[in-house]
Amino acid sequence: MGTSKIVAGAGVYVIIGLYALGFSAADQAVYNVGRSEAFHDQTRQIAYVGMKFAMGDMGSNSLAALPSGNVSLIGGSVTYTGDRPAGLSASQVRVTSVGTYNGYTVTIVAILWYNGVKWVTQRVYQNPDAAEYSRLS
């Protein structure tokens, strides 16, 4: 009778230990996903800053030269370039901005438009990157 209590008690401790181990693994997984999302969000914000740098380069000049630059900031960097592909009017410029931060890369493409006073954002696209989604698993 005493032995069965010991075996039953040991079984309970094993089950509790497995649950604790499972919770620890789940906590680590949640932490990893959260960290990944935070780095990705920071990278996206850096890419948006590149678009703003491009707008600043063009200023209020409707005939401004196409923007281009590479800037290091906030522990990351951004590279932006402007072009005017076929299909865009003379008052539009496409800016591609690539932000990098802590091993992550986000590319956004913005269409800037000259509204008669200054360059403004008409449309912004973010290029999906399958590598970023694989980090979440």
Cβ–Cβ < 8 Å for 71, 56: no
Superfamily of domain 2-128 in the CATH hierarchy: GSPII I/J protein-like (3.30.1300.30)
Cβ–Cβ < 8 Å for 110, 86: no
Residue 35, pLDDT score: 84
Report d(CA 124, CA 109) in Å as an integer. Answer: 6
The residue-averaged pLDDT of 95-115 equals 93
Q: What percent of the chain has pLDDT over 70?
A: 83
Q: Is the pLDDT of residue 135 over 60?
A: no
* Closest to 81 (Cα-Cα) out of 92, 91, 95: 95
The dihedrals phi and psi of 66, each to the nearest 5 degrees, come to -65, 135
3-state secondary structure of 76: strand
Q: What is the residue type of 112?
A: L
Report d(CA 11, CA 5) in Å as an integer. Answer: 10
Report d(CA 115, CA 60) in Å as an integer. Answer: 10
- C-alpha 11 chain-centroid distance: 46
Residue 31, pLDDT score: 80
Report d(CA 11, CA 133) in Å as an integer. Answer: 40
Encode pLDDT of 34-87 as tens digits.
Answer: 888 888 889 999 999 999 999 999 988 888 789 999 999 989 999 999 999 999
Q: Is the pLDDT of residue 103 over 70?
A: yes
Maximum average pLDDT range among 17-26, 94-103, 127-136: 94-103
The residue-averaged pLDDT of 91-114 equals 93
